[in-house]
Structure 1
């Protein structure tokens, strides 16, 4: 009976050890991951997310994320076509498309990808002058995305987005650019002031000329109006004199002689035909004064 009992205990222990061994071989691959199963250090198969079994001791499981990964490439220096030094930094998003290539084709696929991107960026900016590079960030992003394209596929990686965050010239160049910018602004301000003063002089001169022209026109119009009025009065005077009878002028002549006789200079010599015309003078003056009123 003791032998049988020992046998059952032994079998039970064996079963327990097998169960423990089996349980130790269970692995869980999370969502959006894949597993690389290695047998005695050699790649065996790729398993998807879920519960998988591997043989403990003989096999191991490496988990590789397929999710989108952000990466920031620290600042580094690049020389432009005109030998100016600028500092740049990038950010990118990548994901693993082939876990086997990502893990086995390179000792560090991410670092290799970064070096590839840096090399292409140096080539792109190295063919540009400083001012062109500083003003062409969008174009540089487009060229960089096109350049790296499918090249990172050898690492099992796909770069979804790459962006040049900043391009900064060296401090010495930045100071020179600031001075140039200040000089350009001062030049623009001086030109604007000069143009403003010239425009002000132009407007003032034009206003004075317009005023002189308006005054001249007004004076000319006043003279013309006065001349028209005088002509009108003369015409009316002539009409009145033409309508007056000879008796009226004789009476006016007698009044004129009376006034001359009362004055200190009372000697008047006239032809007999001009005596009657003498009366037209006070009559004309009287009519002229009435026309003014």
Structure 2
């Protein structure tokens, strides 16, 4: 009987110790604890050692650290009825553990749906080409749109980023064809411009050569004309400076040449007609004329 009593006391002591130990809770760093009394929210406690009433009270731990999340691919229709597929990544953290845990059965899912809805609205007001080329702009508009709206879930979105915006396979195929056509068009234009430039340069080179040749010929003609003018000028100067004896000698030389030639006609100046007989060359011409008769 005494052994049974001792065992009973030991069991009671163990239960009391376990009960006391179970009344202590530790809230880790960057976490908060939500204390519930008989299933009803009682208070919020910070990181550290917390004492609760066993069985009656219960603590729920909520992390305040930043969480990454990925929104899987889903389709959006643009303003011009083109279908594109998008996926996002974001980072969020809990700013109000009470709202996060009690105001919504799944705050993270609600936040994701909110972001999806705003992204559909933003892209739905854009044409396909505008949407595909405005990822940065869409990120900015999306961040501004959600703003503090997620505060009702006790969550704040720190960063949101669109990972990809892809058109449907049919649209992509059409875009590839258009891109190929544009590239071929650009190549054809560049080729035509190159040929035109080549023709222009060739024509210019030929024209420059013709002009250079014409200038060279003109310069040669001018040089030749200048030389001839110089020769005539010097000749005239020499003749102007020559004495009468020089011209008489030239006349006598001409008469001598005529006398030895087949012709029998002599042209002399009228002033020299009286002295014609005194010129030996005249006598020779005269004698030759008589012999021929």
Structure 1 residue matching 2:265: 3-state secondary structure: coil
Count of residues in Structure 1 that have an aligned counterpart in Structure 2: 273
Which residue matches 2:75? 77
Query: Cα distance, 1:13 vs. partner?
Result: 4.6
Structure 2 residue matching 1:37: 3-state secondary structure: strand
Structure 1 residue matching 2:81: 3-state secondary structure: coil
- 8 Å contact kept, 2:255–2:266: no
Distance 1:195 1:83 in 2: 38
Bigger Rg over Cα: 2
Given the superposition, is the C-alpha separation of residues 274 and 125 from structure 1 closer, same or farther in structure 2, using an over 3 Å criterion? farther
Given the superposition, is the C-alpha separation of residues 257 and 227 from structure 1 closer, same or farther in structure 2, using an over 3 Å criterion? same
Structure 1 residue matching 2:178: 3-state secondary structure: helix
- 8 Å contact kept, 2:27–2:48: yes
Which stretch shows the higher mean deviation, 108-117 or 56-65? Answer: 56-65
Distance 1:270 1:137 in 2: 112
Which residue matches 1:259? 257
Which residue matches 1:268? 265
- 1:48-197 maps to which residues of 2 (within 5 A)? 48-197=46-195
User: Mind listing any 5+ residue stretches in structure 2 that lack a counterpart?
Assistant: 274-293
User: Mind listing any 5+ residue stretches in structure 1 that lack a counterpart?
Assistant: 277-293
Which stretch shows the higher mean deviation, 7-16 or 43-52? Answer: 7-16
Distance 1:161 1:49 in 2: 26
Query: Cα distance, 1:11 vs. partner?
Result: 5.3
Query: Cα distance, 1:261 vs. partner?
Result: 2.7
Distance 1:176 1:52 in 2: 64
Distance 1:144 1:275 in 2: 126
Which stretch shows the higher mean deviation, 206-215 or 157-166? Answer: 206-215
Distance 1:201 1:254 in 2: 70
- 8 Å contact kept, 1:68–1:95: yes
TM-score (norm 1): 0.87
Distance 1:187 1:270 in 2: 89
Distance 1:168 1:156 in 2: 32
Distance 1:131 1:6 in 2: 86
Structure 2 residue matching 1:76: 3-state secondary structure: strand
Deviations, residues 36-56 of structure 1 (Å, cap 9, x unaligned): 112222212111111212223
- 8 Å contact kept, 1:253–1:275: no
Given the superposition, is the C-alpha separation of residues 33 and 274 from structure 1 closer, same or farther in structure 2, using an over 3 Å criterion? farther
Which stretch shows the higher mean deviation, 79-88 or 41-50? Answer: 41-50
Distance 1:235 1:142 in 2: 93
Given the superposition, is the C-alpha separation of residues 132 and 243 from structure 1 closer, same or farther in structure 2, using an over 3 Å criterion? same
Distance 2:93 2:168 in 1: 34
Which residue matches 1:199? 197
Which residue matches 2:246? 248
